[in-house]
Amino acid sequence: MKRFTVSGQWQGSRLDRFIRASLPGTPFGVTQILLRKGLIFLNGAKAAGNARLRSGDVVAVNIAEAEEDGRSKQAPRERVARISGIGIDVPVIYEDDALLVIVKPAGLVVQPGNRAEMGSLLDLLEDYRRKRGEPPETGPPFPYTPVHRLDRQTSGALIVAKTRPAARALSRSISHGGVVKTYLAVVEGVPSPGSGEISTPLETTKGARSHSAPAAHGKTASTSYALLKRLPGGRAMLEVSIRTGRTHQIRAHLASIGHPIAGDKEYGAPSRSGGRILLHAWKLEFRHPETGATLALTADPPDDFEMRPGHGRGGTSR
C-alpha cells in the first residue's frame, strides 16, 4: 500500500487528478479502473474519482494491484502516441495531467498568426484537447500552451502545459534556468577547438523577421557546444546546450564564430539543406511542476537530418 498526504496546493482538487500526478505516466482510463475496483482509498475509505481533497487528507493506493492493472492497460513505452491533423503527425514522448512533451516537425509554426496552409501547432493542440474526453472542470478550459519556443524550421522536443498552474511553474523554471535544453546542429565548417562556450551578449531587432546579433550592450546569452562528428562536405555535427533563451540565440552565436547552421541563409549559410535549417531540439531535462520528479526526455532527429545519433526515442523519470 502506497500512501500520500495531500498538501495545501491540492486543496479542492479531484482525487483522480491527484492520483495521476502522484503516479506519473498512469493513463486516465487506468486511474478510473483502479477507483472502480476499490484499490484507492481516501482517509481509509473507498472514494469516487470526483471526490474533492482537503489539505492533510491521506490517499492510499494498493500499489501491487495498481501496477498489475497499469501493465495490462498501458502500451509499451517504446510505442509513441501521436497528435494527428492538418496532414501531419506530431509524436508525443511524454504526457500526464499537467503537461505533455511533443516532437515538433520542422516547418510547423507554433502560433497561428503565420499559419499559411499547414495550420499551426496550437490548432493541433486544441483539437487534441477537445478529443481527450477528460472530466470537465468548472470555468472555461485551459488551452494546451507551449511554455517555450522553437522556430518554424527547428524540429524537436517542446514542453506544453495542460493546466494554468503547470504553465506558471514551468515558465518560472525556464526563466531561472531550471530547464536544460540540448540541441543538435549541423554547421558549416568544423569548429576549432572542438568545444567551447560562446557568451557574447545579443541584441534582437524586432520586426516581421526578428534578427539577433552580437552587441556589447545586448542581453546576456550563453551557448556551449561540443563536436560530435565531422560530416561530408566540410560540415560538422555539434551538441549545443543553452540555459538562456534569447531570440535565435544558437543561430546567432554559432554564426558569430564563423560556423552558421547549415541552411540558415539569414545568418550567412549557403542554401544547400533542402529548404530547412539543420537545428533540432534533442534533449530536455527539468523538474515536473507538480511532483518535483526529474524528467529527462530525448527526441530523435527526423529522417531528413544529416546524422541520427545512436539514442532511442523516449524518456525516463527519476
Q: Which amino acid is at 162?
A: K
Beta strands 279-287; 155-161: pairing state:
parallel
Task: Please pick, among 57, 69, 151, 300, the residue that the annotation labels catalytic.
Answer: 151
pLDDT of the residue at 235: 93
pLDDT of the residue at 76: 33
pLDDT of the residue at 239: 96
CA distance 160 to 175: 16
* C-beta separation of 290 from 98 below 8 A: yes
The dihedral formed by the CA atoms of 246, 296, 80 and 67, expressed in degrees to the nearest 10: -150
Show the cell assigned to 203: 541584441
pLDDT of the residue at 67: 46
With a CB cutoff of 8 Å and minimum separation 6, the contacts of 206 are none
Give yes or no for a cis peptide into 193 (omega within 30° of 0).
yes
CA distance 157 to 161: 13
134-to-20, 129, 177, 259, 289 alpha-carbon distances in Å: 12, 9, 32, 48, 20
pLDDT, tens digit only, all 318 positions of the chain: 788 888 887 888 888 778 877 776 555 556 767 777 888 889 888 888 888 888 889 988 875 554 444 443 333 333 345 665 544 678 889 988 899 999 998 888 887 654 444 468 888 888 888 777 655 555 567 889 999 989 888 999 999 999 999 999 999 999 888 999 999 999 999 999 999 999 999 999 987 788 999 999 999 999 999 999 999 889 999 999 987 888 899 999 999 999 999 989 999 988 665 668 999 999 999 999 988 889 999 999 887 776 444 433 344 444
Sign of CA dihedral 299, 303, 305, 309: positive
Sign of CA dihedral 122, 28, 166, 64: negative
Going along the chain from its start, the domains and CATH numbers come out as 2-73 (3.10.290.10), 182-279 (3.30.2350.10)
Task: Provide the 10 A C-beta neighbour count for residue 138.
Answer: 4
- Active site (annotated) includes residue 151: yes
Q: Which amino acid is at 59?
A: V
pTM of the model: 0.69
Half-sphere exposure of 211 (CA within 13 A, CB side): 10
Look at residue 93 and give its three-state secondary structure: strand
pLDDT of the residue at 316: 45
88-to-124, 162, 290 alpha-carbon distances in Å: 9, 21, 31
Question: Which H or E element spans position 41?
Answer: strand 40-42
Question: Which H or E element spans position 202?
Answer: strand 202-205
Look at residue 30 and give its three-state secondary structure: helix
